[in-house]
Structure 1
Amino acid sequence: METTAVIRGVHISAQKTRLVADLIRGKSVAQALNILTFSPKKAAGILKKAVESAIANAEHNDGADIDELKITTIFVDKAQSMKRFSARAKGRGNRIEKQTCHITVKVGA
């Protein structure tokens, strides 16, 4: 039985988030939370919340035993970019894209 947690529209690029997601794929939830707690990256805090949400969903909705859970699937999809303009010299402007992503975490026994 797999339980899912999805966080949509996170204000961080998918590329940066995938670096941290690759560290915890296939690990037990206790080991994954330990890795995320001590990682200095911004994405680690966001992924930790997603994993904790998936654990809570599994416990509440499915009555799963937390000690047996492991991260079966985790993936990060690119979401819509926010387009912004930055002022440049001589009245010009450059476009800046602020990246967002969707995070999906599935836990199961």
Structure 2
Amino acid sequence: MKAFLNNYRQSPRKVRLVADLVRGRPVSVVELALRVLPKRAALPIRKLISSAAANAKASGSKGELFIKEIYIDEGKVLKRRRPVSRGRAHLIKKRTSRISVILETRT
């Protein structure tokens, strides 16, 4: 079963650190691990995995759920300007992430 989160306001590089920890593991173990992980991206990834698990149960999947794929893509980039000396401006890129989770059952 699949679940997606678009335009999450954190850079993909930081979110990938959490995604690498949970890839290929059982959902029951991952939810406990993300509950105590001190990363900001842990909460939205935990909610997304539980949403995908609920989707799987609603469609009638039996057996233990594992994270088959989780990948983080770049979303939209918000561009802001910061004034600096001599009347110039530097560009600040506020990056967003697109998180995709795919679960499968193993018997």
TM-score class normalised by the smaller sequence: over 0.9
User: More helix per residue: 1 or 2?
Assistant: 1
Match of 1:64 among 51, 61, 74: 61
Q: TM-score, normalised by structure 2?
A: 0.93
Residue 91 of structure 1, CA deviation: 1.8
| Match in the other structure for 1:44 | 42
Q: Which has the higher strand share?
A: 2
Q: 2 CA distance for matches of 1:87 and 1:76?
A: 32
Which of these residues, 82, 87, 92, is aligned with residue 83 of structure 2?
A: 87
Match in the other structure for 2:30 = 32
Offset of residue 30 of structure 1:
0.7
Deviation at 1:90, TM superposition (A): 2.6
How many residues were matched structurally? Answer: 105
1:98 to 70, 94, 98: 94
Q: List structure 1 segments (4+ residues) > 4 angstroms apart after TM superposition.
A: none
- Which secondary structure does the structure 1 equivalent of 2:61 belong to? coil
Cα offset, 1:59, TM superposition: 1.0
Q: How does 1:17-28 map to 2 (within 5 A)?
A: 17-28=15-26
1:15 to 13, 16, 31: 13
- Partners of 1:53 and 1:34 lie apart in 2 by 15
Unaligned regions of 5+ residues in structure 2, if any? Answer: none
Question: Which residue identity does 1:39 align to in structure 2?
Answer: L
